[in-house]
Amino acid sequence: MPVKLDQVPAAALRPMPLRLWRWLMALLPCVAVGLGLTLWKGDGALAQEPLKFWLFALGLPVLAWGLLLGLRLLVFLGAQSAADGWDRAREAELSRLMRRGRRSQQILAVSLRTALDVGDEGSGLLNGGSAIRVRSSWQGGSVRHSRLVVDEALLPEEQLGGQLAAVLGDLAVVLAKLPADKPLALLLETSSAIEEQRLVEAWTEAWRLSGIQQATTRLEGAGLAVIDHWLDRRIDDRALLLVVAYQFAPESVEGSAETVVGLLFGNRLTQSTITPMAYLHRPEAVDKGATESLGRSLQQALDWVPLAASQITAVWKAGSDAAGDPLITQAFDKAGLPVSASKELHDLDAALGHAGCATPWLAIAAATESVRAGGGPQFICSGEGSERVWAWCSVVMPPAV
């Protein structure tokens, strides 16, 4: 579940300190009242016994004043001790949440296929390449979108199988460095109008061709919520997280992007065989319908690293709807992210189109490729479009930082 620091109760209210000068001033009326009552109620015999007279006139008022002062002091010390205990518990909870919030995952391998088809996808995106244009779609007709390089002699599911096999083959090279009994958790996200059974067959054949030896366990969930959950529940797990996401032959072609993305994540506590390419820090959700949530989530994502906005070298934006796009740009500028130059802000929607369920993974893969090319810390804002979450903010860090 998301780490919400703003839900930690506030610090305890401190008790009002004792003002000694007020108590000293209160002593005078007490003495005056005691003296007056003694003179008024005392008989003649009392006047003949000075010690007894002054005991009633001064001693009893001072004793009562001292008892009240002592009682007030005990109440103050008790409230102070309770406040100290509350604040210690609060600090311990904040420290626990900060440690949990600042968890990250190793990015061990990346494979990316887009319509740029330049061999090095990351380089094409970094250089401002664009592949979205009016072209024929798999449904027929011409619409504005980006499409993977296709072989018209092959069926759509065969074309997809080839792309999946290429991505899995890249990941298999890294997985071959690990023992065959290394557990793998697999998240497969798909978006396609192709019949489900044909998609399953394409995936099964691509997996067979990849030669990956590790046994896999399928995960439920979607998007960066899976990463958030993994960091909470499985940070000390021996298993690696394998994410494969694609959008191919989508139902809605206008403005879409065909892409196949593969990512391999490892846990810092349990994986030391493979040198990480980069680190993905905890993603922060932007709640739907709360405009102030964007700036808050953006800053929290930076704080999880921790990192100043001025240290970010590139910003990746993907999956934002037309209405929300200005809000994202304003939030970037307000936070001080380096988006003044086009080379620092990479709009994947403008370069490729909307990649559907593959959007967040495409952004992470592109940012990781940028790190591999020598770039510094990368900031990502990727749309989700679920009922509760509008977007996710996260940071990809070079391994040496």
68 and 125 both lie in a single domain: no
In DSSP terms, 245 is beta-bridged to 189, 261
Question: Same domain, yes or no, for 179 and 251?
Answer: yes
Single residue among 71, 100, 129 that ends a domain in this structure: 100
For residue 390, give every residue at least 6 positions away whose Cβ sits within 8 Å of its Cβ, in sequence order, or none. Answer: 286, 287, 288, 289, 293, 294, 324, 383, 384
DSSP 262-278: EEEEEETTT--SSPPSE
* 178 and 63 within one domain: no
Q: Are residues 111 and 242 in the same domain?
A: yes
Give the end of a domain, one of 37, 68, 100: 100
One domain, residues 384 and 244: yes
User: β-strand 216-218 against 389-397: which pairing, if any?
Assistant: unpaired
| Total domains, the chain | 2
Are the beta carbons of 16 and 247 closer than 8 angstroms?
Answer: no
Provide φ and ψ at 241, rounded to 5°. -105, 120
- Identity at 75, one-letter amino acid code: V
Q: Within this chain, do residues 184 and 308 fall inside the same structural domain, yes or no?
A: yes
Domain that holds residue 40: 5-100
Q: Indicate if 254 and 327 belong to the same structural domain.
A: yes
Mark whether 190 and 260 lie in a shared domain. yes
Q: What is the pLDDT of residue 7?
A: 61
Tokens representing residue 219 in the block: 């995960």
> pLDDT tens per residue, the chain (401 residues)?
566 666 656 776 777 776 766 666 665 666 666 666 555 555 555 555 565 655 555 666 666 767 776 787 788 788 888 877 877 877 777 777 778 888 999 999 999 999 885 444 445 566 666 788 888 777 777 888 888 877 777 888 899 999 999 999 999 999 999 999 999 999 999 999 999 999 999 999 999 999 999 999 999 999 999 999 999 999 999 999 999 999 999 988 888 999 999 999 999 999 999 999 999 999 998 887 666 778 888 999 999 998 889 899 999 999 877 656 778 888 888 888 877 666 678 889 988 999 999 999 999 999 999 999 888 999 999 987 666 788 899 999 999 75
Dist CA 279 CA 368 (whole Å)? 9
User: Kind of pairing, strands 216-218 and 184-191?
Assistant: parallel
Q: State whether residue 363 is helix, strand or coil.
A: helix
Q: With the C-alpha atoms ordered 312, 98, 319, 186, is the resulting torsion angle positive or negative?
A: positive
Q: Which of 65, 100, 135 is the last residue of a domain?
A: 100
